[in-house]
Structure 1
Amino acid sequence: MSYVADPSASDGEFNRDTDYITTRITADGRDGYAVEPGRYRLVVARACPWANRTIIVRRLLGLEDAISIGFCGPTHDERSWTFDLDPDGRDPVLGIHFLRDAYNKRIPDYPKGVTVPAIVDIPTGEVVTNDFAQITLDFSTEWTAYHRDGAPQLYPDPLRDEIDEVAQRIYTEVNNGVYRCGFAGSQQAYEKAYDRLFTALDWLSERLENQRYLVGDTITEADVRLFTTLARFDPVYHGHFKTNRSKLSEMPVLWAYARDLFQTPGFGDTTDFVQIKQHYYLVHTDINPTGVVPKGPDLSNWLSPHGREALGGRPFGDGTAPGPTREGERVPEAHSAG
């Protein structure tokens, strides 16, 4: 996750830096990094919506034994994400305090923002990729030999074109749309971004009114990509980013849809509301210079009945739900809903 406002944009519009390290880990190793259990470490921060996607997909597919995971703390400075949650502030596998060290191992004096998620090659200590959109697709398509029994098809071949189309609109208008509102440098840019965001949310409400999931009758990559933004909407985006036409809890279809996913193993149990609020309200000092983290909102309503079962659909298709979250990877109970 990085935030780059384009100073040359005369209208104050926010532009995201999308120049990622795009090396892929594949079954045939064509980029020099072959799929190999135990070789790679997924570095994430629970606060980050882009990283949260990878946590969800890794859990749904059962890749815990194949790809280890390291958690950064919820805050960072201009230099790097850090492993504040680990003893001595060092990742126990990589042995580093700053994620930037792994970036510099791959590209000396790495000139760009250090982002999560990132996958690190453990033997060399080098970042392989931080291309968050491709990482989850490759988990579904390149790591199939290490999926758990009963793993769902999150990117089924017959639906890929439609998933890609829906996911692209979600990315440009919703995932990135909230940032376009929050980091707008002018009233004009903000109002334009605001209108675009809620136009897309209205479109999603219409799409989901009579179908349980975004594409087909099972959970797919598209649902994962939308969920992480919806989960942050009321705790952060509504106030902090001024996306305040409506709270998520005031948009009936999307609110029920989000609760349906939240109550599905792999979604709510990977969502840390405390870290989410700490990240946005403490890191974005230009937006929130006091560093005050809001106490609300009440999150217990995430566990209320959603009624979406009436629309049919099978969350995991012919597969099964993942088992309990692994020890050491659980969100603290006080950080979740309930």
Structure 2
Amino acid sequence: MVRLIFALGVLLLLPHAGALQLGAAVSAWVRGEDAVYLGTEDGRILRYVPNEDRAELLWTLQPIERVTGPVQPKLFSLDAREGALLWVREGRRGFRVVERFAFGQEPEPVVGEELRLAVVAAWFDDEDGYVLVLLDGEVAWLDAAGRITRRLQVTRSAVGDADRRGRYLALGDEGGLVTLVDLEGGRIVAQSAAHRDKVLAVDLGERWLLSGGRDRRAAALRLATGESLRLKAEFFVYSVALDDEERLAAYTYDEQGTLRIVDLEARREQAREGGFVGVDRLLFWKDGCLLLASEQGWVKCWRWR
């Protein structure tokens, strides 16, 4: 019996068949033109090419000192633009640091710890500026020098997740509210109360806003009409993803590692498959590939069709 339990434990720790083992869980990722950029829990930033199933190391964050000794800083968000990355990482004194990384160079600070900002996520904005989402539900605009030029209080509850597409930004908070912000006008343009508990994931498209939460549901909001679709789940929805055509919605479905894909226009399930225990990140890639990232430290292209 002991041997059987041990064998089952080893199987759970093994990477999924056909997966690329990274050695640490993915803490943030962003899709680029020809690759996906990953940040790992052990402080590495990687360039991952799904079709070639390989990962190239771009940078390793320096360890930070704690009372118990040196630890690797966690990466909280990633954005990519024309040969550069923008990331939010843990600082030495516990506050968040925002850095810009041009490929082949060392990271340059955008927001230092001295500002004491609890940054959830950061994106490139316009030609030289940046947009930040803060933990307390505030959005801040920065110029090229890292100076705050504008602020907007979006929600009074802590932010669970945020996503940006073009000139719009979506925030999901601890109370279950999802808010859409017009970045150019600096104003709130839509809100959805589709969740009753903390919003854990959002994916913003041009036509749909997809979200998932601790209330065991995913929700899709049609931006043009305000129509909301409830997508059932049997456990916390840790990740959601829209495909490029914004017709398909994928999300984590239950505690046993089942993933579900739904056609939003036809209101019909397209796929439901189990066996992906530990998957907590989803991202549609090219050619019918749904990228999966697991808390066990592997990534995989699932060709679900």
Task: Assess same fold via TM > 0.5.
Answer: no
Using CA pairs below 8 Å that are at least 6 residues apart, which structure has the higher relative contact order?
1
Higher percent of residues as helix: 1
Higher percent of residues as strand: 2
TM-score (norm 1): 0.29
